[in-house]
Amino acid sequence: MSELQDIIDQIVYIQKETLVAPSSEKDIAVATDELPVDLTLYPCFLNVEASTSIDYGAGGLREQHHEIDMNLVFSPSDKKYSMRSRRKWVQAVLDAFASRVTLNGTATQALITGVDYQTPLQWNDTPYMTATFRLAVEVKEAVDFTV
């Protein structure tokens, strides 16, 4: 099926090209899978793979389970209105990914399993207001086991 990079590329595409900004909010400025040099454009997504587990089943079936942290970053934590803005974005992100559970065909299934509001993203000793969406991605594929 797909490599991890293909999956991340589809996540970035959904965030940047198809996610509709909530009323009175700015569009996503940046969506990436690499640390940006500058976090001055808000809101932005930073996507980081957290873990991968692999299971093998009968008949050459391989299941890969990827956990990906989609960090929706707002302004530094001391800025006014960041929490209100963050709350507005949660439903928009949930809806965008609920309507694309195969990540445009790159995964068997991809579901947001939780949102963390407590851990700010630290960048250059500055904490940023963040909503971290945990995306569970499952890829099932047949594998030819030859000896």
pLDDT for 94 equals 97
The CA distance from 11 to 93, in Å, is: 11
Please compute the mean of the pLDDT values over residues 20-36 and round it to a whole number.
90
pLDDT for 1 equals 53
pLDDT band at residue 146 under the 50/70/90 scheme: confident
pLDDT digits (tens, 9 = 90+) for 107-139: 999 999 999 998 778 878 888 889 999 999 999
**Residue among 16, 34, 28, 125 at smallest CA distance from 77:** 125
Alpha carbon 37 to chain centroid distance? 19
pLDDT digits (tens, 9 = 90+) for 63-115: 999 999 999 998 876 667 788 889 999 999 999 999 999 999 999 999 999 99
pLDDT for 35 equals 76
pLDDT for 64 equals 96
Give the angle 18-15-113 at the CA atoms, nearest 5°. 115
SS3 state of residue 68: strand
pTM: 0.90
pLDDT for 78 equals 67
- Judged on CB neighbours under 10 Å (0-12, 13-18, 19+), 147 is exposed
The CA distance from 134 to 28, in Å, is: 18
The DSSP string of 65-104 is: EEEEEEEEEEEETTSTTHHHHHHHHHHHHHHHHHT-TTTT
Walk me through the domains of the chain, giving residue ranges and CATH numbers.
Answer: 4-142 (3.30.70)
How many helices (DSSP H) and strands (DSSP E) are in the chain?
2, 6
